[in-house]
Amino acid sequence: MIASTHDYEKAREELRLLEERLQRLQVEYPLPAKGLTRAGVRKLIARLHEELAVFEGSQEVEKVDT
């Protein structure tokens, strides 16, 4: 769970690295030989997007409350 701005930035960097990794996998293994690896990377990307969205939403709520 992302609890601070520092965690948020780390998650954004991890997301960028995972997206680059997925692109490399798609280029290096265009056939489904590495399908499970790509699926795992996609799941990690989806999890990070979800966590980032929750954090961003909580930040917006804090701005409205102040």
| Domain edges within the chain | 5-65
Return the pLDDT at 35.
Answer: 63
Tens-digit pLDDT profile for residues 2-46: 999 999 999 999 999 999 999 998 888 777 666 668 888 999 999
pTM reported for the whole predicted model: 0.76
Please state, in angstroms and as integers, the Cα–Cα distance from residue 20 to each residue in 1, 9, 14, 51, 54, following that order.
22, 17, 10, 19, 23
Residue 56: pLDDT band (50, 70, 90) is very high
Distance CA 52, CA 7 (A): 10
Residue 50 region by backbone torsions, left for phi larger than 0, else alpha for psi between -120 and 50, else beta: alpha
Return the pLDDT at 37.
Answer: 82
Residue 46: Cβ within 10 Å count: 10
The token duo for 46 is 């989806």
